[in-house]
Amino acid sequence: MIYPLPAVMVSCGENEAEYNIITIAWTGTVCSDPPLCYISVRKQRHSYDIIKRTGEFVINLTTEALARATDWCGVKSGRDVNKFKALNLTPEKGQIVKAPLIAESPLNIECQVLEVKELGSHDMFLARVVAIDAEERMIDKSTGAFQLNHCGPLAYSHGKYYGLGEKIGGFGFSVKKKR
């Protein structure tokens, strides 16, 4: 009942013949130093065995423009179809991992698996972030920060996809002095 969740497309595979994309909502940050994240995947999913064998994956941020592809990759199996080709998505070489980045995604997080935790319906892949690939137009030139709000991020809640609304405040806004 902790909603909304990010809806991300996770790409995996060591070569073009096995490249696949799986849509994941069970994902998030675990630690900032060292940078760690996780994804949780059902054992029955096609990508599960690929990620377990290769020890790598890429979390690709989704956007409102990628909503159809995000949904499609969540309901179609890579056992039956090449998702990159079917959706005209571009696999792109990463900096470190062999798993492909999705070029159409504004932010790609390259990950190496540290541990697989069997949890029940899903197994959690705890991973080290080894590289971040971001569209240059999304980087604030003065601060170097990724401008998430400029890319129309996609969220998932109870079986539905949503765009994010307007900013309400920034960290610490509730205690700042009023002028």
- CB pairs under 8 A, 24+ apart, for 163-172? 163/64
Within a domain: residue 179?
Answer: no
Within a domain: residue 173?
Answer: no
For residues 86-113, average pLDDT? 97
Within a domain: residue 48?
Answer: yes
Within a domain: residue 142?
Answer: yes
Within a domain: residue 176?
Answer: no
Structural domain count, the chain: 1
CA distance 65 to 81: 22
Query: Who contacts 43 (Cβ-Cβ below 8 Å, separation ≥6)?
Result: 123
Query: Who contacts 20 (Cβ-Cβ below 8 Å, separation ≥6)?
Result: 11, 12, 13, 46, 47, 50, 78, 83
- 3-state SS, residue 41: strand
What are the tens digits of pLDDT across the range 143-153?
A: 888 887 778 88
Cα dihedral: 55, 27, 37, 139 (round 10): 110
Within a domain: residue 97?
Answer: yes
Which of the four pLDDT bands, split at 50, 70 and 90, describes residue 85?
very high
CA distance 28 to 99: 19
Within a domain: residue 11?
Answer: yes
- 52 — phi, psi (to 5°)? -65, -40
Question: What pLDDT score does 67 carry?
Answer: 95
Say what percent of the chain tops pLDDT 70.
Answer: 99
Average pLDDT, the chain: 93
For residues 70-81, average pLDDT? 94
Q: Which two tokens stand for residue 76?
A: 């179609």
| pTM higher than the cut 0.85 | yes
Q: Which two tokens stand for residue 152?
A: 């129309």
For residues 92-96, average pLDDT? 96
Length of the chain: 179
What are the tens digits of pLDDT across the range 4-41?
A: 889 999 999 999 999 999 999 999 999 999 999 999 99
User: Are 58 and 109 within 8 A, CB to CB?
Assistant: yes
Q: What CATH number is given to the structural domain containing 151?
A: 2.30.110.10
Within a domain: residue 178?
Answer: no
Tell me which residue range forms the domain holding 89: 5-163
Please state whether the peptide bond connecting residue 34 to the residue before it is cis, i.e. omega within 30 degrees of 0.
yes
CA distance 88 to 86: 6
Q: State yes or no: pLDDT of 179 exceeds 80.
A: no
